[in-house]
Amino acid sequence: MILVDDLLKLPISSVLWILREIHHAAQEELANESESITGELSQLYMMLETGKVSEEEFAAGERTLLERLDRIQERDRGVKEKGGGGRAPDHREMGRVA
CA distance 73 to 29: 14
pLDDT for the residue 97: 41
Q: How many domains does the chain have?
A: 1
Is 19 inside a domain boundary? yes
pLDDT for the residue 35: 87
Residue range(s) defining the domain that contains residue 32: 2-81
pLDDT for the residue 90: 42
Is 88 inside a domain boundary? no
Is 53 inside a domain boundary? yes
The answer to whether the CB of 98 falls within 8 A of the CB of 12 is no
Q: What is the pLDDT of residues 19-63, one digit of tens each?
A: 999 999 988 888 788 889 999 999 999 999 999 999 999 999 999
CA distance 44 to 38: 10
| pLDDT confidence bin for 91, thresholds 50/70/90 | very low
pTM over the 0.75 mark: no
Residue 15 pLDDT exceeds 80: yes
